[in-house]
Amino acid sequence: MKKISILFLTALVLVSCGGDKKSTEAIIESGNLEAIRAKRAEIVTKQTEIQEELKTIDEAISKLDTVKHVPLITSITAKEELFNHFFEVQGSVTTKDLLVVTPEYNGILTNVYVKEGQKVSRGQALAKIDDGGLGQQLAQLEIQAELAKTTFERQKRLWDQKIGSEIQYLQAKSNYEAQSRAVSQLQQQVAKTIVRAPFSGTIDDVITEQGSVVAAGQTPLLRIVNLNNMYIETEVPESYISDVTKGKTVMAEFPVLGKTFETQVRQAGDFINPANRTFKVEVSIPNKDHLVKPNLTAKLKINDYTNEKAILIPQSIISENAQGEQYVYVVDNKNSENEGIAKKVIITTGKTQGDVIEVLSGIKSGTEIIKEGARSVKDNQPVKVIEYEESTSKN
């Protein structure tokens, strides 16, 4: 409307001046200063009169025009809501129940009792190593120990009846105890020839076939794994040392499996690695269907910050001034026809999550904020709200 008034004013002035063009040029050519000044005053008076008329016309148009030429905007109302912030790291699946079994005895692997994929229980015999005659030696010692026991018991009965000498009783006792210890030691040696499962699990791989010569503590025999006690291990920057603690919520995603699990931090390390300034974190992982395998890569979103009464707004509506201050526009003095005034409000922000950001100051719950059109309005400009939203974010 203002542009139309200016164009109309210009046209009237040009028409007014154009009709008296000859006399104006003649007065200027005459070189009469008083006449020229008088002509200028006449034109200024006409211009003032035209402006007054235009003002009257504009007021009349404003009263009669039912269509208001104001920016159309949408708005959202800020409200307090739960805000959980997560940061992302990568981790690898592992388990403490994953072991390559080695023998405790040197010899020939005479028997392998299990196959790959077989489930075994803790203590179950997995393989047998030739004992090199230890079994026969044990049998002889057991016979001698049994004789020593019988001799000792008879000598004890006599000694209890005060028959015989004390030295005979003590010698029988000493011989029996020595034989018993010898049997126990040899039993332990023979027991090492049987390879047993250190925990319940599944035989993942039979590495050495029977008939091979094996060395104690060196030759890998089998790999056993328990998929019921899996966890994810990751390294977290030291800046999160006070935020990532036992029990914090974690979203674990396995891209290969196309699955996401909600779980928790089961352990947060207390040692900072000086090489990369990180600490280790273990995350529990449910694995009832045994789909999660050791060394799988996982994407972790770990909760490091929670605000139960956060004000969240879309990042797209925030602008920044020359001083580096962030601001948004709010709707002020809105009437029954959803018309109001756009007001610039300086805000301070906190953490971001997705496309929303936390507002720490400048906006309170219930404030109506301009969304669509926020980049095109100006401070103190009339606006009209055409769409209204209750919520500002998605958690």
| pLDDT in the model for residue 15 | 45
Closest to 351 in 3D by CA, of 305, 301, 394: 305
| pLDDT in the model for residue 331 | 92
Strand, helix or coil at 191? helix
Residue 391 carries which side chain, given as an amino acid letter? Answer: S
Q: Do domains 72-83+308-389 and 131-192 have the same CATH topology?
A: no
> Tens digit of pLDDT per residue, the chain (395 long)?
444 444 444 444 444 444 455 577 888 887 788 888 888 888 888 888 888 888 888 777 767 665 557 788 899 999 999 999 999 999 999 988 888 999 988 999 999 999 998 999 999 999 999 888 877 888 888 888 888 888 888 888 887 887 778 888 888 888 888 888 888 888 888 888 889 999 998 899 999 988 899 998 899 999 999 888 889 999 999 999 999 999 999 999 999 999 999 999 999 998 999 999 999 999 998 888 888 888 999 999 999 999 999 999 999 999 999 999 999 999 998 888 888 999 999 999 999 988 999 999 999 999 999 999 888 889 998 988 887 665 545 44
Q: Are 201 and 119 in contact (CB under 8 A)?
A: yes
| pLDDT in the model for residue 17 | 46
| pLDDT in the model for residue 237 | 94
Q: Which fold has domain 88-96+225-305?
A: Elongation Factor Tu (Ef-tu); domain 3 (2.40.30)
Strand, helix or coil at 358? strand
Residue 130 carries which side chain, given as an amino acid letter? Answer: D
* Burial of 363 per CB tally in 10 Å (0-12, 13-18, 19+): middle
Tokens 């040392």: give the residue: 241
Q: Are 54 and 368 in contact (CB under 8 A)?
A: no
Instruction: Report the predicted TM-score, pTM, of the whole model to 2 decimal places.
Output: 0.61
Tokens 């003590």: give the residue: 170
Residue 167 carries which side chain, given as an amino acid letter? Answer: I
Q: Are 220 and 101 in contact (CB under 8 A)?
A: yes
Class for the domain spanning 72-83+308-389: mainly beta
What is the domain partition of the chain in residue ranges? 2-64, 72-83+308-389, 88-96+225-305, 131-192
| pLDDT in the model for residue 176 | 85
Q: Which fold has domain 131-192?
A: Helix Hairpins (1.10.287)
2-18 helix and 21-30 helix, angle to the nearest 10 degrees: 60
| pLDDT in the model for residue 102 | 93
- Residues with Cβ within 8 Å of residue 190, at least 6 apart in sequence: 131, 134, 135, 138
Q: Are 122 and 200 in contact (CB under 8 A)?
A: yes
Q: Check residue 198 and report its DSSP letter.
A: S
| pLDDT in the model for residue 90 | 95
